[in-house]
């Protein structure tokens, strides 16, 4: 297993993103996702990333992808730029990797197909912090934590872990991304949350999504691994 530096600065991004596209996984900044990479195109993508900036964009395939999965099906326009945190090559030549989400991306246009994998010109989307409404941000953070606790009453030690999150002084935007990744929501909700850069609007949207979840829905194991970077 090879560990990589996790710190990220936007000037490390070239403006062209290697695309790892899946139909049903919406990645968010500040969380980690384990993946097993076995397709030749994605193995080539990872190997280039490891030799270079260690950046990969987790994108989501648009509806209708089933007709052309092996080709270049349409992508949803918002993605998550990720850094390779760890990677391990198996005896079969596949890879086990751990990706850390670092920034939102807007996909602008796809580059000509010169490699096995897809490359897209993209722009980093920065959060619009709630500096002008500190009172609103604090109130929304409390509401979000309360809603999150209510949504996962059967997870052992969850309340204590949430209180630890509060004690770590994470921002409202980071907390919203962690909750959005962890909670079981349909893909359309998650894409709306990923695309929303205004932190207050994102949190209110997330609260709406949590309130509308079916009673039987269950969250992912908590907490997901995340980074303060």
**Predicted confidence band at 62 (pLDDT cuts at 50, 70, 90)?**
confident
Residue 69 has pLDDT above 80, yes or no: no
Mean pLDDT over residues 75-92, rounded? Answer: 95
- Written out in words, the top-level CATH class of the domain with range 2-125 is mainly beta
Q: What is the per-residue pLDDT across 26-36, written as a single tens digit (0 to 9) for each?
A: 999 999 999 99
Query: 3-state SS of 115-172?
Result: CCCEEEEEEEECCECCCCCHHHHHHHHHHHHHHHHHHCCCCCCHHHHHHHHHHCCCCH
Which residue intervals of the chain bear CATH 2.30.130.40?
A: 2-125
Residue 216: which region, alpha, beta or left (left: phi > 0; alpha: psi -120 to 50)? alpha
The Cα 99–Cα 104 span in angstroms is 14
Mean pLDDT of 191-199: 96
Q: pLDDT over 70 for what percent of the chain?
A: 78
Report whether pLDDT(206) > 70. Answer: yes
For residue 29 the two structure tokens come to 């900044």
What mean pLDDT do residues 175-192 have? Answer: 93
pLDDT grade, residue 155 (50/70/90)?
low
**Structure confidence at residue 113 (pLDDT):** 87
Where does the pLDDT of residue 50 fall: very low under 50, low under 70, confident under 90, or very high at 90 and above?
very high
Average confidence score pLDDT of the chain: 85
Question: Does 205 sit behind a cis peptide bond, omega within 30 degrees of 0 on the bond before it?
Answer: no
pTM, 2 dp: 0.85
Q: Is the pLDDT of residue 125 over 90?
A: yes
Residue 213's pLDDT is what?
79
Q: What are phi and psi of 200, to 5 degrees?
A: -65, -45
Q: Which residue has the higher pLDDT, 4 or 75?
A: 75
Question: For the residues 10-37, what does the mean pLDDT come to?
Answer: 93
- What counts of helices (H) and strands (E) characterise the chain? 6, 7
């Amino acid at each position: 297993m090879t560990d990589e530096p996790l710190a990220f600065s936007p000037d490390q991004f070239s403006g062209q993103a290697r695309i790892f596209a899946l139909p049903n996984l919406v990645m968010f900044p500040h969380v980690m996702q384990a993946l097993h990479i076995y397709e030749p195109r994605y193995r080539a993508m990872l190997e280039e990333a490891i030799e270079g900036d260690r950046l990969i964009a987790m994108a989501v395939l648009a509806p209708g992808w089933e007709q052309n999965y092996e080709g270049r099906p349409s992508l949803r326009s918002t993605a998550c730029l990720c850094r390779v945190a760890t990677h391990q090559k198996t005896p079969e030549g596949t890879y086990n990797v751990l990706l850390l989400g670092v920034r939102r991306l807007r996909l602008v246009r796809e580059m000509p197909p010169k490699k096995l994998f897809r490359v897209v010109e993209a722009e980093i989307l920065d959060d619009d912090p709630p500096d002008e409404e500190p009172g609103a941000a604090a109130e929304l953070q409390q509401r979000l934590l309360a809603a999150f606790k209510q949504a996962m009453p059967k997870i052992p030690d969850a309340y204590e872990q949430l209180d630890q999150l509060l004690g770590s002084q994470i921002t409202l935007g980071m907390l919203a991304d962690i909750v959005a990744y962890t909670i079981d929501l349909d893909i359309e909700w998650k894409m709306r949350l990923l695309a929303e850069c205004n932190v207050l609007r994102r949190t209110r949207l997330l609260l709406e999504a949590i309130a509308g979840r079916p009673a039987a829905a269950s969250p992912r194991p908590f907490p997901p691994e995340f980074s303060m970077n």
